[in-house]
Amino acid sequence: MRYVDEFRAPQLISRAGVEIRRLADHHYRIMEVCGGHTHAIYRFGLKDLLPENVELIHGPGCPVCVLPMGRIDDGLSLTAQPEFTFAAFGDMMRVPGTHGSPLEYKARGMDVRIVYSPADALKLARMNPEKHVVFFAIGFETTAPSTALTILRAKSEGLQNFTVFCNHVTIIPAIRAILDSPDMRLDGFVGPGHVSTVIGCRPYEWIAKDEGKPVVVSGFEPLDILQSIVMLLRQLRNGEAKVENQYKRVVPWEGNRAALRAIAEVFELRSYFEWRGLGFISQSALKIRKAYADWDAEQRFSVPGVRVTDPKAAQCGEVLKGVLKPSQCKLFGCECTPEQPVGALMVSSEGSCAAYYNYQHQKPVSISSAPVL
Amino acid sequence: MCLAIPGKIVKLDPGNPQLAVVDVVGVRRKVDLGLLQDEVLKPDDWVLIHVGFAMSKISEADAADQMRTLAVLGESEAAMQEARGYGLENESNREWGEVT
């Protein structure tokens, strides 16, 4: 499989590094939007391959990290009723709420379940008609279509003991909020890979046309990310701003229309939604349409609508916007660690603080000796 | 969260064309094909799976490439855990009944 071998080749990686150095004639600040990219950048020490004048800024694309604590409290409040089961992805389980994480609620005897798919939360409801299963949905456009299809399935089965507590967010308004932020200067974006399999590449075109900043949708391997940076720098050097797709092997330019139809059928935009660290962003999240109110935990049950401000000393917002490096936060590594996270950026492996913490003290994985399945 | 796991369609569910048995990293799981309803899918086709739903049809070469990406990123174990977890196979608790 020559194609695959070529992709692994360390020579190509060092060649990309040389090309980046050749192209970097100014100081460039490039944001990688997706948490998966942030994780890969730290894991492989890609920053060490870049010259000092190519700076990578970590973006808001980690759904666990941007979820405000009040939403976790609201979702967990439903577990006070004994017939309720709280089902969520494993990523959510250690995220602290005001009175503990979902895992701590489970330890206190609440019915908290890890599921790997929203379809499995539906299955729990189907198998346990005496229970009411609430699926705590998080994620960007990558995950929202699966939640939408699950709600459509629940409706077609007439299942009444299943609801979704919807926290799905959309990436474009977050990018707009970051670009509008007065303390932020960015030259281009490494675009998210798997979000783009759903939304395609067109939704980024305004960033190029209106803001004059290039976007390259990227894969997740070291060479993918370095190639994307080369493509961005070439555009910047030539005074161009367009959207390019480096991850063509997975991302179609038009996205996945069936997935977009499912989102449009079940969800509508919330007028505003709070993002941890970024504050309220208009039209940045999805809510369940009235036609599907029976499967919406927020429309069916009373939730307190808690708003919790982050601890003052934690500087998650500044780190999320890329104004501060993780290590520049006052709590980093002392009061806030992956074992005892204060902020959500330290919880998820896609959060920049956890990635920085986990990989800063150890030698990054050697690209040529990475394991092969 | 951003895991995308390649799987090979083993057989389509004759009773429900939106479900298929898919070989995902060595385990056979029912996967929802509803997000690929615009595609023509048949056994031996490869798909990329996210949270139990096939999200794109890919080539065999791309599937091999994606497997290696997961290995390179140190996420093979997480991918296997996720694949094993589809269908609640990890939920062996009797109160949830027999799971197939």
**Residue of higher predicted confidence among B73 and A212:** A212
Locate tokens 């939730």: which residue? A303
Residue A35 lies in a domain: yes
What residues are paired with A113 via a beta bridge? A87
> Measured between alpha carbons, how far is A225 from A229 in angstroms, rounded to an integer?
6
Residue B94 lies in a domain: no
What's the pLDDT score for residue A188?
98
Q: Using DSSP, state whether A140 is helix, strand or coil.
A: coil
Q: Please state the domain count of chain A.
A: 3
Measured between beta carbons, which residues in chain A are less than 8 angstroms from residue B85? Answer: 114-117, 120
Residue A280's H or E segment, with its range, is strand A279-282
Contact A115 B85 (CB under 8 A): yes
Locate tokens 């999240």: which residue? A285
With contact defined as beta carbons under 8 Å apart, do A142 and A194 qualify? yes
pLDDT band at B98 (very low <50, low <70, confident <90, very high): very low
How many residue contacts between A and B have a Cβ separation below 8 Å?
149
What residues are paired with A246 via a beta bridge? none
**Residue of higher predicted confidence among A301 and B3:** A301
Residue B65 lies in a domain: yes
Instruction: Please choose, from the candidates A225, A165, A155, A157, the residue with its C-alpha nearest in 3D space to the C-alpha of residue A189.
Output: A225
What's the pLDDT score for residue A350?
82
Residue B97 lies in a domain: no
In this prediction, the residues of chain A whose per-residue pLDDT falls under 70 are 1-9, 361-373
What's the pLDDT score for residue B42?
96
Residues A96 and A130 in one domain: yes
Q: If phi over 0 gives left and psi between -120 and 50 gives alpha, with beta otherwise, what is residue A100? A: left
Measured between beta carbons, which residues in chain B are less than 8 angstroms from residue A371? Answer: 71-72, 76
Tokens of A339: 């074992």
Residues A38 and A184 in one domain: yes
> Measured between alpha carbons, how far is A167 from A267 in angstroms, rounded to an integer?
11
Instruction: Please choose, from the candidates A101, A90, A91, A17, the residue with its C-alpha nearest in 3D space to the C-alpha of residue A54.
Output: A17
Average pLDDT, chain B: 84
Measured between beta carbons, which residues in chain B are less than 8 angstroms from residue A43? Answer: 73-74
Q: A29: domain range?
A: 2-63+171-245
What's the pLDDT score for residue A13?
87
What's the pLDDT score for residue A2?
37
Residue A57 lies in a domain: yes
Contact B97 A127 (CB under 8 A): yes
Nearest CB partner across the interface for A373, out of B51, B58, B71: B71
Q: Using DSSP, state whether A269 is helix, strand or coil.
A: strand
pLDDT band at B93 (very low <50, low <70, confident <90, very high): very low
pLDDT digits (tens, 9 = 90+) for B46-65: 999 999 999 999 999 999 98
> Measured between alpha carbons, how far is B76 from B68 in angstroms, rounded to an integer?
9
- The phi and psi torsions of A288 (rounded to 5 degrees) equal -80, 135
Please give the DSSP secondary-structure letter assigned to residue A311: P
What's the pLDDT score for residue A316?
85
Residue B92 lies in a domain: no
What's the pLDDT score for residue B89?
54
- pLDDT > 60? residue B95: no
Nearest CB partner across the interface for B2, out of A124, A194, A256: A194
Contact B91 A365 (CB under 8 A): no
Q: B60: domain range?
A: 5-87
> Measured between alpha carbons, how far is A298 from A313 in angstroms, rounded to an integer?
32
Residue A328 CB neighbours (<10 A): 11
**What is the longest distance spanned by two Cα atoms in chain A?**
65
- CB proximity under 8 Å: A 220-249 to B: 220-222, 249
What's the pLDDT score for residue A182?
84
Residues A159 and A75 in one domain: yes
What residues are paired with A115 via a beta bridge? none
User: Is B61 near chain A, with CB under 8 Å?
Assistant: yes
- pLDDT > 80? residue B99: no
Residue A232 lies in a domain: yes
DSSP secondary structure string for all residues of A75-130: HHHGGGSTTEEEEE-GGGTT--BTTB-HHHHHHTT--EEE-SSHHHHHHHHHH-TT
Ranges of H-type helices in chain A: 2-8, 10-23, 35-43, 46-49, 69-77, 102-107, 118-127, 144-157, 171-180, 193-199, 205-209, 222-237, 257-266, 297-300, 316-320, 352-360
Residue A367 lies in a domain: no
- pLDDT > 70? residue B1: no
Instruction: Please choose, from the candidates B7, B9, B19, the residue with its C-alpha nearest in 3D space to the C-alpha of residue B70.
Output: B7
DSSP secondary structure string for all residues of A174-193: HHHHHHH-TT---SEEEE-H
> Measured between alpha carbons, how far is B7 from B83 in angstroms, rounded to an integer?
10
With contact defined as beta carbons under 8 Å apart, do A296 and A163 qualify? yes
Residues A50 and A198 in one domain: yes
Tokens of A34: 């997706």
Contact A149 B90 (CB under 8 A): no
Q: Please state the domain count of chain B.
A: 1
CATH code of the domain containing A119: 3.40.50.11740
How far A40 CA lies from chain B's nearest CA (Å)? 7
CATH code of the domain containing B61: 2.30.30.140
- CB proximity under 8 Å: A 34-63 to B: 34-36, 39-40, 43, 62-63
Residue A255 lies in a domain: no
pLDDT band at B2 (very low <50, low <70, confident <90, very high): low
Residue A264 lies in a domain: no
Nearest CB partner across the interface for A198, out of B2, B37, B55: B55
> Measured between alpha carbons, how far is A369 from B12 in angstroms, rounded to an integer?
39
Residues A159 and A203 in one domain: no
Q: Which residues of A227-245 are buried (b: 16+ CB within 10 A; e: fewer)?
A: bbbbbbbebbeeeebebbb
- For this complex, say whether ipTM is above 0.85: yes
